[in-house]
Amino acid sequence: MDFLKNTLAATIGALVAFGIAFFMFFVFLAAIGSAEPDTKIEKESVLQLKLNQLVEEYLGADPNDPFAAFVQDRVGFDQILKAVTLAKTDDRIEGISIEGNILSLGWSQINELRDLLIDFKSSGKFIYAYNEMYPQRDYFLASVADSIFLNPVGNLDFRGLASEVLYYKDLQEQSGVKMEVVRHGKYKSAVEPYLNDEMSEENRMQIKALLTSLWNQLTDAIAEERELSVERLNEIADDLLARRAEQAKELGLIDELVYEDQYYRILSNRLSGIDNELAANDKPNLVSLNKYLRYAKTKRLYTGKDRIAVLYASGTILYGEGGSSYIGQESIARALKRIREDRKVKAIVLRVNSPGGSALTSELIWRELKRTQETKPVVVSISDVAASGGYYIAMASDYIMAQPTSVTGSIGVFGTLPNFSELSKKIGVNPQWVETNKQSRGYSVFGPMTQQNYDEIKDGIEQTYDIFLDRVAEGRSIEKDRVDELAQGRVWSASSALEKGLIDGYGGMYKAIEKAAELGETSDYAVQSFPRYKSEFEQLFGDLSEAQTLILARISKAFIPEPINNFNQQIEQLKAKENQIQARMPFELNIR
């Protein structure tokens, strides 16, 4: 028997060793292949802006990570902004071609990119756009182009905005699995789907206000570029007048109906200045976005003796290390320590794109930012969303900027705990407890919530909410009673937030950097990004448990249908013990 065990152990060990060696061989090849990236760009080229990759706010890849070459399925939004900015002054780039469908950009990210594309056109260069079908998100970006082209059998989906919220009360009753909920704030409806079968009037009101504000921003921007009235755009949306390609062209939303090969010939004509279709090449010199991003990595937008530190906080706020897709206090704290100790850093931009999460983690990050703010000014740049915990951490700042399409506020707190007591009865599981004191047992997922359980959690919720009000009152110089009126978990559009004093102004990342330089009293500066994150592969060979979490998340995203995956992620995030008290956005804002 021992012989078999030893043989099996030796065999498994050999296979593992062989697998690691095989894997490291490819790492070596990747390192050789990426040592001299192809960044040669010909004159009279067109930058091909295809956004069909997974885009994250900031990847934070470590340049010394030997496994970075394997992470090719994602791109940083910060790098896309940098690429478009560089292309404006790159003599080899004559124009930009916006093609394909957007995979993962949010509305405010598109708006920020759109602003840079408008600035790109101010240099005298052109922008064309082509697609075989235009969803609304894609058309919003394409509307900035000088000319918009659509496949003759394609379509344009222009119908207004809607948000779908799923409710689970009946499912809980039928399954015997429920979420116990404690909350503060009449608008704090992240937990509403677990309590009701229908949407509350408060939730319906705030979602309607958000959608209306966002739609107004979109139609105003499109109307200006396409020289159409907002009233006409709403008529088109109400009656789906642009759903066919011919109709979209007649209405002025599309300029020409062409096939892809014809579009590329039109690009060639534009570059050569020749109108004769037969005289042009079939394709112009197209530079892919990925290739231009490799070139952009070799360039700096800012050079100077001082530093502006840009600290990225993107994703759900969870207790722990943190990464490119979630915010943890450990990586943020390390980065802020480096920033505080660096005399060259004169100011900080905190780039936030988060719906919130763990209240404890939000407080820990706020504290580190507050310590840093004592010696260096902090400017917050809101991307798509800085709500609840995302807004909480923004309170340790001197100035807050957002896009007109950003979402913020949601000053409120809730607690959720999964409960399997009804399911336990159904399947014949009978829990028993032995205790030394009255409160020894605490809360158990296998027993019903007691009044003592509820009171204990409610006390924590009220305490956290009160601290949240203090943070906002101090950070925004608003009376605490007034903050409470604006709070209650309500989410605000950027325009409403500006009106009510929750933010200070509009602007994207680069305007925030300029503001930080102004507050830091420097005009001679470079920009340094924080934090640095390990790739999943590097973590696999360092911290197996952390890598397992990341890899499983990637697998679930690839193979599990999105609605089920989103529900599973919500349950996993809400049931973690350290996340029982949540400062989170009051609903999953899925706008389509």
Residue 262 one-letter amino acid: Q
The two most distant CA atoms of the chain are separated, in Å, by 91
CA–CA dist 245, 176 (Å, integer): 50
Nearest CA among 420, 381, 417 for reference residue 402:
381
Q: What is the pLDDT of residue 34?
A: 47
Which tokens hold the place of 325? 């897709």
Q: What is the pLDDT of residue 136?
A: 96
Classify burial at 375, counting beta carbons within 10 Å of its beta carbon; exposed 0-12, middle 13-18, buried 19 or more: exposed
- Determine contact, residues 117/127, Cβ cutoff 8 Å: yes
- Determine contact, residues 350/379, Cβ cutoff 8 Å: yes
CA–CA dist 415, 53 (Å, integer): 35
- Tell me how far the alpha carbon of residue 383 is from its chain's centroid: 8
Domains for the chain: give ranges and CATH numbers: 45-158+242-296 (3.90.226.10), 306-416+471-582 (3.90.226.10)
| Bridge partner residues of 256 (DSSP) | 149
- φ/ψ of 152, rounded to 5, equals -60, -25
Nearest CA among 153, 326, 136, 138 for reference residue 233:
136
- How many other β-carbons are positioned within 10 Å of the β-carbon of residue 42? 10
- Determine contact, residues 158/242, Cβ cutoff 8 Å: yes
| 457: three-class secondary structure by DSSP | helix
Helices 230-238 and 201-226 sit at what angle, rounded to 10 degrees? 120
Nearest CA among 424, 348, 350, 439 for reference residue 393:
350
- φ/ψ of 281, rounded to 5, equals -70, 160
CA–CA dist 368, 330 (Å, integer): 10
Classify burial at 323, counting beta carbons within 10 Å of its beta carbon; exposed 0-12, middle 13-18, buried 19 or more: buried
CA–CA dist 422, 183 (Å, integer): 22
- Determine contact, residues 353/314, Cβ cutoff 8 Å: yes
User: Residue 531 to residues 87, 311, 321, 402, 534: CA-CA distances in angstroms?
Assistant: 26, 7, 11, 21, 10
CA–CA dist 466, 580 (Å, integer): 17
CA–CA dist 248, 148 (Å, integer): 11
Q: Starting at the edge strand that comes first in sequence, how are the strands of the sheet with 581-584 ordered? A: 178-184, 413-419, 581-584, 356-358, 316-317, 326-327
- Determine contact, residues 112/410, Cβ cutoff 8 Å: no
Q: What is the pLDDT along the chain (592 residues), one digit of tens a residue?
A: 554 555 555 555 555 455 555 555 544 444 444 444 567 899 999 999 999 999 999 998 765 555 555 555 789 999 999 999 999 999 999 999 999 999 999 999 999 999 999 999 999 999 999 999 999 999 999 999 999 999 999 999 999 999 988 898 888 888 888 888 887 766 666 678 888 889 988 889 989 999 999 999 999 999 999 999 999 999 999 999 999 999 999 999 999 999 999 999 999 999 887 665 555 566 789 999 999 999 999 999 999 999 999 999 999 999 999 998 899 999 999 999 999 999 999 999 999 999 999 999 999 999 999 999 999 999 999 999 999 999 999 999 999 999 999 999 999 888 888 899 888 888 898 989 899 998 888 888 899 898 999 899 899 999 999 999 999 999 999 999 999 999 988 899 999 999 999 999 999 999 999 999 999 999 999 999 999 886 655 555 555 445 555 555 555 555 445 444 444 554 444 444 444 688 777 556 667 6
Which tokens hold the place of 432? 């028993």
Residue 592 is given by DSSP the state: -
CA–CA dist 329, 323 (Å, integer): 10
Please give the helix or strand (H or E) that residue 55 lies within, else none.
strand 54-56
